[in-house]
A = this chain, B = another copy of it.
């Protein structure tokens, strides 16, 4: 089984951090492995303390459903097919932008989660992280 090593996670986080600096918004960045378990997390100085949990949950959610949290969110609005999913799994399911799967040979083997700014900011930072995987 392929997974995400600590070295992989650090490369992803470094790329995400660099993008956050460009965006000008300090971020929480978390990476989980194929089992959805945390490999590494950083909170940049000044980033929201309420986003520690959210960054980890976004990463977990992306791996748990092999999907970007942004896309899951679109399916989780009132009247949509997954409405209510955010209350499952002990509240660990994040349904807004910032969680992106990490894939190898077309298979999801982990994910990165970013929280600390607007949905658009979180998404671009997470994408930069994923691109470095």
Contacts and interface: CB of A to CB of B under 8 A. Distances in A.
A9 B41 CA distance: 11
Interface of A: 1-3, 5-6, 9, 33-45, 48-54, 57, 60-61, 63-66, 73, 76-79, 81-91, 93-97, 118-120
Number of copies: 4
5 contacts: A1-B3, A48-B64, A53-B89, A81-B97, A90-B91
Contact of A35 (B5, B49, B79, B119): B49
Nearest to A41: B41
Nearest to A74: B79
Contacts of A83: 73, 77, 95-96
A3 B52 CA distance: 17
Contacts of A50: 36, 60-61, 64-65, 88-89, 93
Contact of A119 (B53, B63, B82): B82
Contacts of A78: 77-78
Given A77-B83, A84-B86, A90-B90, 19 more contacts: A1-B34, A5-B45, A6-B42, A6-B43, A9-B42, A34-B35, A37-B49, A38-B41, A48-B65, A49-B64, A54-B89, A78-B78, A81-B96, A81-B120, A84-B94, A85-B96, A88-B94, A90-B91, A91-B91
